[in-house]
Structures are given as C-alpha cells and as structure tokens.
Amino acid sequence: MIRTQISLEPEEYEAAKREAARLGISLAELFRRSLRSILPIDPSAPWMKYAGMVESGDPCSSQHIDDVIYGRKP
C-alpha cells in the first residue's frame, strides 16, 4: 500500500471517525471504501465491481467462501 496524507475540516474528521466506529472499521478503511465507491471500475476485471459488497459478519469467511456464497451444506 501507498501511504498518503489528507487535510480535513475538524467536522469532517469527527464525522468520519464516528462513521468508521459505527461500521467497526479503521478510518483508513472507511476512506478506501469511499474511494472505491466513486472510482471507475477496471473494465479488464468486471467481476471486481462486486468486490467488498458482501459482508457475512464472519471474520473467517474467506476460509470457507463456498459456504458463504452457496450456503452451508445440511
């Protein structure tokens, strides 16, 4: 990752911190998600427009992605 610095008004900073806390994510992750929502999609990878859209609530979901996508087997 590349580290960068931005300047915010105090009100923007506080609002962003509250939203990040509400979502349970870092301020940096909030900004990354915000940027992803407005940046153009890479046409060479159309499936990427779905990246990050599904949240299972399971921090280990990547270890059993088929269960997350297709449902758990009975």
Nearby residues of 66 by Cβ (< 8 Å), 6 or more positions away: none
Whether pLDDT at 12 is above 60:
yes
Domain annotation covers residue 5: no
Q: Whole-angstrom Cα distance, residue 63 to residue 66? A: 9
Provide the domain count of the chain. Answer: 1
Q: Give tens-digit pLDDT for 14-72.
A: 999 999 999 999 999 999 999 988 887 766 766 555 666 666 666 666 666 677 667 76
In the chain, DSSP assigns E strands to none
pLDDT for 34 equals: 92
Whether pLDDT at 13 is above 70:
yes
Instruction: Find where tokens 């159309």 sit.
Output: 46
Domain annotation covers residue 58: yes
Domain annotation covers residue 1: no
* Measured CA angle at 31 (ends 10, 22), to 5 deg: 75
pLDDT for 36 equals: 86
Domain annotation covers residue 35: yes
Q: Whole-angstrom Cα distance, residue 31 to residue 49? A: 17
Domain annotation covers residue 64: yes
pLDDT for 39 equals: 82
Domain annotation covers residue 20: yes
The domain in which residue 37 lies consists of 10-70
